[in-house]
């Protein structure tokens, strides 16, 4: 950010599971959300693992992460414009 002239104090790093830590703060305030979830059918134990396979692991039906994220996304998006 600083290399592009954006001061570091304009950012806050938050580590959380999907958007869990942001729901209360951003509920109904998000107009655009870009989400590229893992969707490849894999063994469920690969979902959320610490290995590279977590980047594509979608669980037995390929929708484990998507199905967990959709309720959070619905809560974050602004209505009617989001």
At 79, the pLDDT band (50, 70, 90 cuts) reads confident
In the numeric block, the tokens 């594509």 are attached to 56
Q: For position 25, what pLDDT does the model report?
A: 94
Residue 80 or 34, more confident = 34
Q: Per the structure block, which two tokens stand in for 19?
A: 């958007």
Q: For position 11, what pLDDT does the model report?
A: 80
Q: Model confidence over 7-60: pLDDT tens digits? A: 888 888 888 889 999 999 999 999 999 999 999 999 999 998 888 988 999 999
């Amino acid at each position: 950010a600083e290399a592009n002239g954006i001061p570091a104090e304009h950012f806050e790093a938050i580590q959380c599971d999907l958007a869990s830590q942001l729901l209360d703060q951003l509920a109904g305030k998000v107009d655009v959300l870009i989400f590229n979830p893992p969707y490849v059918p894999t063994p469920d134990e690969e979902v959320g693992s610490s290995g590279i396979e977590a980047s594509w692991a979608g669980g037995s039906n390929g929708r484990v992460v998507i199905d967990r994220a959709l309720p959070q996304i619905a809560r974050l998006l602004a209505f009617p414009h989001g």
